[in-house]
Structure 1
Amino acid sequence: MKFQGVLPQDPLSHTLAADPTGMQKLKAAASKNPQAAARQAASQFEALLMNTMLKSMRSVRFDEEEPSNSLNTFQSLSDQQMVQSLCERGGLGLGDMIYRQLAKQSGFKPDASQMAALQSNGPALTAQPVGLRSLQAYQEAQAASAQAGVPASGSSREFVSGLLPHARQAAQQLGVAPECVVAHAALESGWGKRAIRNADGSDSHNLFGIKAGSDWHGKTTTIVTTEYSGGVPQKRQETFRSYGSYAEAFSDYAQLLKGSSRYRNVLNQGQNMYGFAQGLQSGGYATDPRYARKLVDVAASLAQQVARI
């Protein structure tokens, strides 16, 4: 079987990711042609970023079986080689920006031919770049947050530090790490930006999206939310619990999970974020089929911040 169009056709670019002579070759090239070497260095930096991203993705698992050491080694080398090949064909477009920065720092003008080489390696994109879409989405979210009276991000660290004392108390009752509880609140509330509000506009403090069933006798609020039916998202009006404070909300959250047999697999998971997330999804906490994966992703970006507070 032949695999065509995967690796670059330039024989000089057929470099193994594990080649120990790569840095020596790059250093030698820099003394002869700094501009060409800068282009190669830019490609290597982009490869490093992409490889870090892949490594982070590999670290999150959704099955019980642990991979063998040999499989881990193979996957690591395979990922490095794939990243190397992708970057030599244009990568994500970061190489262009890195090359410009290296040229500026080194005191020479970016060579038009090197810029053309970086741009021509990758396929032409007719759609709007992902980075631009993400930036626009972020700016729109910031504007919407300001209009709604919600703090404009500030930082996720502020969200964590403000809720951590309550999260620690709830986590102790549930037998899980505080990161699990804070990550769950962050996912459900969009880091506090999608606050469930009462009819008068005040905060319901319901960070966990807990609905008000027939057994709830406290205050409630009704909003339009997204539910999944057969994997398809649908807009519905739902009634949610309303609390007088975050302390009350976290206490009720802990009691809900402890008091329902549906969530027995959530309890006593300790630092096992995967088990905590799977327990919530299997217990029917949310209708989103990707709920556990989303929760683990949020927790991965959160753990380091919690440790520093």
Structure 2
Amino acid sequence: MKQIEPGFIHDLSNLDRLRAGISEDKQGSLREAATQFESIFTQMLFKSMREANSAFESDLMSSNNSKFYQQMHDEQISSQLSTTGSLGLADMIVKQLGGEPQDLSQHQPTTDLSPQQPSQPFSIRPINADSVALPTKMKSQPSAPLSAPPLLEKVAPVAAAETLPTKQLQPTSFASAEAFVSHMKPYAQQAARALGTDPALLIAQAALETGWGKKVISNTLGSSNNLFNIKADPRWQGQKVATKTLEFHDGIAVQEQATFRSYDSYQHSFDDFVNFLQHNPRYSKALTHSNQPQQFIREIHQAGYATDPNYSNKVLAVMKKVQSLL
């Protein structure tokens, strides 16, 4: 198939010739289509760079007419670059689609090391995970001519060597009370040691506040991870989330809008709950009874932690179920 000349970028006859030549030479048509794709990709690069530089434009050089001709110039340059294989994208596409790439030796740079030494093409050593991950143990390997294997084969060993452990995602809901208790147990045990109380009490309080983890306060950005529904007062400098809550005034339930603290994790929620009790003077009396779970939660309730008149009784009722699941 006769190669399509770059010509004028907006000359649609080039595309007509490309369609007409598919039946004659599929291999050549694949090459030309890949070249066209590289041209489009290069245009996108130019466009992104122009847009990034728009903040520094001067009024003198940023008229609509200048932008119009500048765009035409960029498109034409993109077409010219794609025909020379400057990016190598077309060769990679042809190879990935089962075609035969062009001889890459014509695109290899040459070096003139001395007046007496003729120019020779650069050679590239095969990449392996050991040589990338541990530079001090790189082995001497003979140079090999540059070939054109698929891109993924080139980068896969490097990616494998640099893979880092992924942070485990915590669940946003729990299928059962057993699942909730099992997941919260290590956090509660750590917090209970800091407070000197029973971890079952802390899990029960979190279960009551969140409906066994099914009603954790959240917004469009995700879960707040707030297991104890601690509100965000003016002293709180972290993330916040606003929602409607049920408060009791003189024994009457009233729905109000309130702002609550937001945490990165359940662990952070337990840690802040411990800090909230230990650094708030109103709970100093309650902390003296931390080794007595029933008295501890009643003192927390009386200190104003919750407005529900039956709050402490509800927590103790849930605690019995938690103890049966531990």
**Higher RCO (Cα < 8 Å, 6 or more apart):** 1
Indicate the structure (1 or 2) with the bigger Cα radius of gyration: 2
- TM-score of the superposed pair, with normalisation by structure 2: 0.46
